[in-house]
Amino acid sequence: MAFVLNRGILILWMMITPVLSAEEISVKDQGVFGELFDIAEEDMIEMLKGKLQKLKESGQLAAIETSLKKKAKEKIETPTPVQGLKPTDVERTFTHDPSLLIEADIKDPSGQVLAQKGQRLNPLTVHKPSQGLLFIDGEDEDQKQLGKRNADRFIVILVKGKPLEVEKELGIPVYFDQRGVLCQHYKIQQIPARIEVQEEVLIITEFKVTP
């Protein structure tokens, strides 16, 4: 239930943080490479069924399912720590302009142009999140307490540690920067760090913890 409270704010942050570009998610026809063969669909299906049955009879299928479930649970409970980060040594503050470059005209269903190609749009001019982002090390006690004290002003995001355990321990919603997408996008190098909205730019601060 705690996650629902921040859902609207998280959606706003997703709009401000374009992680995937159109090029990264587009699919292109790469043509034909090599010789083509007819697909023996029925034979293939029967072969797969036979292999599946053998795995089931030998008990290997159950073992594979158990292993996959275990790995999935471990990935959720203990995500891979974000690489390339260090505790804040020298504090620094810098800005980030979240403006987006429109690559093609955006039109409504009636054909009216809402945004033109080449135009720059800043999501913060439309709406500003009421909470910032706070990045902490979930294995550092001082940083965890920092997150707890500031949970009303920031969405707490772990870069290391066990989010489910930390959430239960602190009694606040906790998230995790999977694959370090946010840290990379905002060029965060030291932890803890916070991102706040100031007018039409984002202020990013890497700072030291004061117990």
Q: What is the pLDDT of residue 76?
A: 67
Per-residue pLDDT of the chain (211 residues; tens, 9 = 90+): 334 345 556 656 666 676 533 333 334 444 444 554 455 555 666 777 777 777 777 877 676 677 666 666 666 668 899 999 999 999 999 999 988 888 888 877 888 887 788 888 888 887 888 899 999 999 999 999 999 999 999 999 999 999 999 999 999 999 999 889 999 999 999 999 999 999 999 999 999 998 6
Q: What is the pLDDT of residue 14?
A: 65
Q: Considering the domain delimited by 80-206, tell me its CATH architecture.
A: 3-Layer(aba) Sandwich (3.40)
Single-letter code of the amino acid located at 63: A
**Cβ-defined contacts of 126-133 (< 8 Å, 24+):** 127/12, 128/12, 128/197, 129/9, 129/12, 129/13, 129/16, 129/197, 130/9, 131/6, 131/9, 131/155, 132/194, 132/195, 132/196, 132/197, 133/13, 133/157, 133/182, 133/194, 133/195
Q: What is the pLDDT of residue 58?
A: 82
Q: What is the pLDDT of residue 27?
A: 40
Could you tell me the residue ranges of all domains in the chain?
45-77, 80-206
CA angle 125, 131, 134 (to 5 degrees): 120
